[in-house]
Every structure is written in structure tokens, then in C-alpha cells.
Amino acid sequence: MESLSEIKSLLEWYVLSGVDQTCGDECYRVQNILQQPASLLRQATTSLSQNVIASKQNARDLCAKATTLSELKQIVDSFDGCALKLTAKSTVFGDGNEHAKIMFIGEAPGADEDRIGLPFVGRSGRLLEKMLSAIGLKRADVYIANVVMWRPPGNRTPTDAEVAVCLPFLKRQIELINPKMIVFLGGSAANALLDNTDSISRLRGRWLEYQTSLNTSIPALATFHPAYLLRNCSQKAKVWSDFLRILKKLKEN
């Protein structure tokens, strides 16, 4: 029989591999499952949708109570409406200067972020800090956050439902910081906050507008995620062009 530590290591490996459910002892015939009434599937889908709507509304209600980032962080830490929290080691809230002029937003925490509990601390984070340094900025000058605050198993892409539940917390961070501009790191972050489906290639290279729930408009720029640059060095020139746009906008403000 395996020791407790061996079982724990195996389970952790499963989580890192993206496994999010276990197989039971009871066997089922696939044919019988496929022949189940469609009404059961509709009921399950409806129930799931209702749960997402309820969690999203709960998140909105909780966010409205937060008047500071510290209060909002406590709310997020105690929030149990997102299933990703069950498999994540840490809640990865935003980090940085609470009075920052620039807010950088990525998609979701990775393994390093989940382990440490801060956004952009792995290889992507180090590259981002080098990019900031190139235009005369430090990490302490900006605020960095993610759309989703818990690492998806196996670094998979967050589902629409997971994004919907977490989005109110991100939007409230934006309202509390009230930055002069927002930089979306990757298409997923831009899609979530701009509510569109355009690819990052179509979005980047031009200034966009993000509308807050307080009816204020914030200039926004989308660029490639640092993780993408680590795999595609040929795109660094385009990102450098985007960061020069950021520098120009900063000087204008």
C-alpha cells in the first residue's frame, strides 16, 4: 500500500496534468448514457447556468461593499463561488502600486503564480519587468492583475463561466485604482473586458476604450502576452512598438 506522501504526490501530479474529476467504482455502459433523455441534459445545463448567474451576482454584490483594495482582497480570499479555488494553492489577487497610472491585465495565474500567490512572477513576469525597464518603469510603478484569480488545472484556458464569475472582482480593482490607461496582456484579457471576440492580432497596435461601470472611459492597449513572446521571439518588435505607444501616452498625461 502506498504511503500518504506518495498518494499526495500522485494527486498533485493529477491536478498539474489537468485532471479535475475521479472515476468511480461503478461501471456504466456508454450506450445507456447516450440514450438518456435529452431533458436530463437540459436540466443539468440549466442548473449549471443558474449557479454561474448566482455566483456572478454574489460577486457583484460583494464587490460593491469594498471601498479599498485591501477590503476587496479580503472578499476575494473568502469567496467560494468559483470552482477553480478548489484546485488552486493560492488566491492570486492584483499586485503593485495602488495609485498606478498603468494597469496591466493578464488572463490567469500559472504554476509559479499559484505557488507564490502573486501575478506574473515566473518567466513571463521577469520578461514583463524587462519590458517595463526598457521604457523607464519598474514593477513598483504599475499595478498587475489577472482576469481569473485562481490557476486553472494544467494551465488550461479559463472557461467562459469561470471568467464571468471572476470578472466583477477585476472590474472593481480597476474602479478602485482608476488608472490612466490599461494594457491587456493577451487577447483573452482584452476579450473579457471589452466584451468582444477579436484576435489579439486584430486588437493590438491601436488605442481602444474600456468603459467602467462608473461611466468613465479609460484608454486601453492590447499586446501579446509575455508567455507568447517566450515562444515567439519574432513578435518582440511588435510589442516594443506597443510599449513605445504606452510611453508616449504617459508623457501626454
Summarised one tens digit per residue, pLDDT across range 14-52 is: 655 566 666 655 555 555 555 556 554 455 444 445 566
Q: Which amino acid is at 98?
A: E
Q: Report whether 158 contacts 152 (CB < 8 A).
A: yes
pLDDT (tens digit, 9 = 90+) per residue, 137-153? 999 999 999 999 999 99
pLDDT (tens digit, 9 = 90+) per residue, 193-249? 999 999 999 999 999 999 998 889 999 999 999 999 999 999 999 999 999 999 999
CATH of domain 47-252: 3.40.470.10
Question: How much is the pLDDT for 209?
Answer: 97
Interstrand relation of 95-96 and 143-146 (parallel, antiparallel or unpaired): antiparallel
Helix spans in the chain (H): 4-16, 30-34, 38-65, 69-78, 84-87, 111-116, 123-134, 160-177, 187-194, 200-203, 226-231, 236-252
* Predicted TM-score of the model (pTM): 0.80
